[in-house]
Amino acid sequence: MKTAQIGYGAWGQNLWRALAGVKGVDMTVCCDPDPKARDEIKNSYPGIEIAESLDEILRRPDIDAVVIATPAGLHYDQAKKCLEAGKHTFVEKPLALSSEEARDLVKIAEQKNLILMVGHTFLYNDAVRYVKNLMDKGELGEIYYMYFQRLNLGSVRQDVNALWNLAPHDVSIAQYWFGEKPDKIKAHGISCLQKGIDDACFVNLSYPSGRFAHIHVSWLSPFKIRQGVVIGSRKMLFYDDTSTDQKIVIYDKGIDRKDLTRDIGPFPFQNFAQFTFIKRAGDILIPKISFREPLKIEMEHFAECVKLGKRPLSDGRNGLEVVEILEAAQKSLE
Q: Dmax of the chain from CA atoms?
A: 86
- DSSP assignment string, 42-104: HHHSTT-EE-S-HHHHHT-TT--EEEE-S-GGGHHHHHHHHHHTT-EEEEESSS-SSHHHHHH
**What pLDDT is stored for residue 265 in this prediction?**
53
Answer whether residue 147 shows pLDDT above 90: yes
- Distance (Å, whole) CA 325 – CA 120: 14
- Distance (Å, whole) CA 287 – CA 22: 29
- Distance (Å, whole) CA 260 – CA 94: 51
% of the chain surpassing 90 pLDDT: 82
Answer whether residue 70 shows pLDDT above 70: yes
- State which amino acid sits at residue 164: W
- Residue 274: pLDDT band (50, 70, 90) is low
What is the topology classification, in CATH, of domain 2-119+294-315? Rossmann fold (3.40.50)
Asked whether 93 and 119 are in contact (CB, 8 A), the reply is yes
CA distances from 87 to 22, 61, 75, 112 (A): 19, 9, 15, 9
311 burial level (CB within 10 Å; 0-12, 13-18, 19+): exposed
- Residue 155: pLDDT band (50, 70, 90) is confident
CA distances from 328 to 186, 198, 247, 305 (A): 8, 15, 31, 30
CATH 3.30.360.10 placement within the chain = 123-292
CA distances from 154 to 121, 151, 162, 224 (A): 21, 10, 11, 10
**What pLDDT is stored for residue 317 in this prediction?**
97
CATH hierarchy code of domain 123-292:
3.30.360.10
Listed range (51-55, 246-250, 318-322) with the worst mean pLDDT: 51-55
Strand duo 220-232 + 116-119: pairing = unpaired
- Distance (Å, whole) CA 255 – CA 123: 31
Over its C-alpha atoms, the chain yields an Rg (Å, rounded) of 23
CATH 3.40.50.720 placement within the chain = 2-119+294-315
Q: pLDDT, tens digit, for every residue of 180-237?
A: 999 999 999 999 999 999 999 999 999 999 999 999 999 999 999 999 999 999 999 9
Q: How crowded is residue 280: how many other Cβ atoms within 10 Å of its Cβ?
A: 12
Mean pLDDT value across residues 165-193: 96
Q: pLDDT, tens digit, for every residue of 27-44?
A: 999 999 888 888 899 888
Mean pLDDT value across residues 138-148: 96
- Residue 262: pLDDT band (50, 70, 90) is low
**What pLDDT is stored for residue 266 in this prediction?**
53
